Structure 1
Amino acid sequence: MKGVLPDLPPLFSRRAHLPAEGTTVYRAAHTTETDGLFALDVAGGTGILSMYDTLAAEQELELARACAEAGKLTGIYVKRRPVEAKHAANTERDYLSPPDPIWGEAAPEITALENGVPFLIRPGADLSIGLFTDARPARQWVRQHAPARVLNTFAYTCGFGLNAALGGADTVKNVDLSRKVLSWGQDNYALSGLSAPDTDFLYGDVFEWLHRLHKRGDRFDLVILDPPSFARSRNGTWRAEKDYAKLAAQAAAVTAPGGRILALLNHAGVSPAAFERMFQRGLDNVQRGGRMAERLGPGDDYPQATHLKVQVWQLDG
């Protein structure tokens, strides 16, 4: 096997407090702890093994078995994530994200908890299983600070929107380009006993929706931005490192006076300072005053992680 397999049991023991605190979906081994070879996420009794280097089939199975034994897991799914995976996701889906476990029992759908909030996790559904666990502190922040009107863009399965609703927001709009994940988000709402009318789940391009909402005069007390670092659409190519200022400007245009923007960027190549400069440039472009008020990061199950930047921007009244 390439590299040296880390001592897995201590990694699990470092996360032993999480289930006791109401979190049963988390990162059990981060790449900073495995010399970049793999990461392991846990959802209930199932593991999701993300491979960042290529192993022979028997080595991959050996690693899966070792992870299962260390974490007392009943099944292991694999996600193969070579550098080119984002481009091959549609053509090689069954190889990159096999629908069946490579070891142990199948678990097509799991109800797991994050800070006591239930979420549907689908380990074999795609490269993304239903929740990005590094954003757990940011979702908790939203639940603790939810104002009356919230716009959740690039919503995926609506984890931020759900936490805003649970935090007492009167209006929450979730926007995403995939009907499939918005429906998944409605299922997550149902798990918490919340109403999930279709009018709160807006299908379509986020930039087009931001333009539409601004034009009709909708304003929000909190706007959540969690875009991909790279994406293609009919409107062209999005690259966060060069396009985030435009997104910040459009978000500011639908943010109420005195409102806030929670901005996330998952890009190891952009420093927190560079991210702050990009965002400030976006505010300047639409002549909105504001300041970066707070920084958040991933949870303690992501030791030494530098990929995720989370900033809370307070706009002027």
Structure 2
Amino acid sequence: MLIPEVPDLVSLLGHRAHLSAQGTTIYRGVHTTETGGAFALDIAGDAGVLSLYQDLSAQEETELATRCAEAAGLAGVYLKRRPVEARHTANVAREWLSPPNPVWGESRSEVTALESGVPFLIRPGGDLSTGLFTDARPAREYVRASAPARVLNTFAYTCGFGLSAALGGAETVKNVDLSRRVLSWGQDNYDLSGLSAPDTDFLYGDVFEWLARLQRRGDRFDLVVLDPPSFARGKTGIWRAEKDYGRLVALAAAVVAPGGRVLALLNHGGVGTEAFGRMIQTGLGQAGRSGRVTSRLTAGEDYPGARHLKIQAWTLD
């Protein structure tokens, strides 16, 4: 194989065995820090998602998938090819990057997996993103444990943060995303937990436009969750988190009630924790607000040595 050494997968997976006993059946089974950056394996019930960060032949891909399946006891393994330029080619080479059928074993078009006892609908072959970003599990647990009355979940994707807030007792939760498809997926996740999911709680459209609209309406929230992509192309141009995060924070701060919080996430290996904090501070200043860090979180224990994800909760004056 082109991968010089495949680590002891059974041993690595064994380090995560306690997660299932604790009600989590979707997690990172093997992280890139444990494979020299060559690949990662995610587990969702009895389905595996194998992410490749280097080129392999079809035979090598199948061989690696087989080893992962046997080590983890999986029914099927799906493949995600993740070259450096994947974020730019996803729309033109989607089926090559994320084949809809498993590279090994049985098909699982949908899997209902648990995170801390909460069910989520996962689609292993649907896209590069399968329905839940498992590295943000500590942040969702934070939201569920400390959910205030009014929560705004921006860049909601399949609404994991919104669902966590609702399960934590929030009275009002609004989820905003530019994709109707993922908002509908989020409503399915609400349904799995037996929660009401009216269309009025799922706001379709550009997050920046919605933040401005909510400000004009006078809507205020006790917690605003910011979980933007690190890079995106939109009708207003290119979004780069390392340059534009402060502007996002400024817009979000305008709809945070006094004493409310901003939970800011950044998935960007090139921005350090302190630099991220300065970006947030700058955004607050632009909005004429002040605040302080009250919690710092990182990726979950199944991401050993990971430094890509920064999570900071700020309480605003």
- TM band (smaller chain): over 0.9
Q: Alignment length, in residue pairs?
A: 316
What residue is the counterpart of 2:163 in the other structure?
162
Secondary structure, aligned partner of 2:23: coil
Secondary structure, aligned partner of 1:125: coil
Counterpart of 1:232, as a letter, is: R
What residue is the counterpart of 1:116 in the other structure?
117
Matched, 1:244 2:245: yes
What residue is the counterpart of 2:81 in the other structure?
80
Matched, 1:41 2:77: no
The Cα shift of 1:287 comes to: 1.3
TM-score (norm 1): 0.99
Distance in 2 (CA, whole Å) between partners of 1:286 and 1:188 is 34
The Cα shift of 1:292 comes to: 1.3
The Cα shift of 1:272 comes to: 0.3
What residue is the counterpart of 1:209 in the other structure?
210
The Cα shift of 1:90 comes to: 1.0
What residue is the counterpart of 1:187 in the other structure?
188
What residue is the counterpart of 1:10 in the other structure?
11
TM-score (norm 2): 0.99
Distance in 2 (CA, whole Å) between partners of 1:95 and 1:289 is 47
CA deviation string 1:240-277 (max 9, x = no partner): 00000000101100000000000000000000000000
Distance in 2 (CA, whole Å) between partners of 1:172 and 1:190 is 15
CA deviation string 1:21-52 (max 9, x = no partner): 00000000000000000000000011000000
> Mapping of 1:1-317 within 5 angstroms?
1-2=1-2, 3-316=4-317
Task: Extract structure 1 runs of 4+ deviating beyond 2 A.
Answer: none
Counterpart of 2:243, as a letter, is: K
Counterpart of 1:304, as a letter, is: G
The Cα shift of 1:285 comes to: 1.0
- Runs of 5+ consecutive residues of structure 1 not aligned to the other structure: none
Distance in 2 (CA, whole Å) between partners of 1:89 and 1:136 is 25
Counterpart of 2:36, as a letter, is: D
CA deviation string 1:144-193 (max 9, x = no partner): 00000000000000000000000000000000000000000000000000
Secondary structure, aligned partner of 2:283: helix
Secondary structure, aligned partner of 1:120: strand
Secondary structure, aligned partner of 1:260: strand
Distance in 1 (CA, whole Å) between partners of 2:256 and 2:237 is 25
Counterpart of 1:233, as a letter, is: G
Counterpart of 1:64, as a letter, is: A
CA RMSD of aligned residues (A): 0.5
Counterpart of 2:17, as a letter, is: A
Give aligned-pair identity as a percent: 70
Distance in 1 (CA, whole Å) between partners of 2:11 and 2:227 is 32
Distance in 2 (CA, whole Å) between partners of 1:97 and 1:189 is 26
The Cα shift of 1:139 comes to: 0.2
Secondary structure, aligned partner of 1:277: helix
Distance in 1 (CA, whole Å) between partners of 2:231 and 2:283 is 19
Distance in 2 (CA, whole Å) between partners of 1:161 and 1:231 is 22
Counterpart of 2:191, as a letter, is: A
Counterpart of 2:63, as a letter, is: E
Secondary structure, aligned partner of 1:131: coil
Distance in 2 (CA, whole Å) between partners of 1:220 and 1:157 is 20
- Runs of 5+ consecutive residues of structure 2 not aligned to the other structure: none
CA deviation string 1:256-312 (max 9, x = no partner): 000000000000000000000010000011110101111001111000000000000
Counterpart of 1:76, as a letter, is: V
Counterpart of 1:130, as a letter, is: G
Secondary structure, aligned partner of 1:23: coil
CA deviation string 1:10-30 (max 9, x = no partner): 011000000000000000000
Distance in 2 (CA, whole Å) between partners of 1:233 and 1:286 is 23
